[in-house]
Amino acid sequence: MAHQLHVTIEKNMMVSMRDGVRLATDVYRSANETGKVPAILLRTLYDKGAAERTAMAMRWADAGHACVV
């Protein structure tokens, strides 16, 4: 039986960079965590929703990390 993931995803949050450019960002978090947690940043040029990135982000979030793509 597969493990049930408990992850909250916030899609397309616009995050401002120092140079003023705004980047569409997806944030994956454990649905069970309420406080501060370690964060993992995944940078990509294209397709932040690619299956392999989404799968990694979901696993890390389920393990208690925030994952920002």
pLDDT, tens digit, 9 for 90 and up, residues 6-40 = 899 999 999 999 999 999 999 999 988 788 999 99
pTM of the model: 0.84
C-beta of residue 40 within 8 angstroms of C-beta of residue 26: no
- The label of the residue with tokens 């980047």 reads 23
Q: Which residues pair with 9 in a beta bridge?
A: 28
Q: Side by side, which strands form the sheet with 7-16?
A: 7-16, 22-30, 66-68, 39-41
The secondary structure element, H or E, covering residue 25 is strand 22-30
Question: Which of the two residues, 14 and 5, has the higher pLDDT score?
Answer: 14
Work out the angle at residue 23's Cα, subtended by the Cα atoms of residues 18 and 26, and round it to the nearest 5 degrees: 125
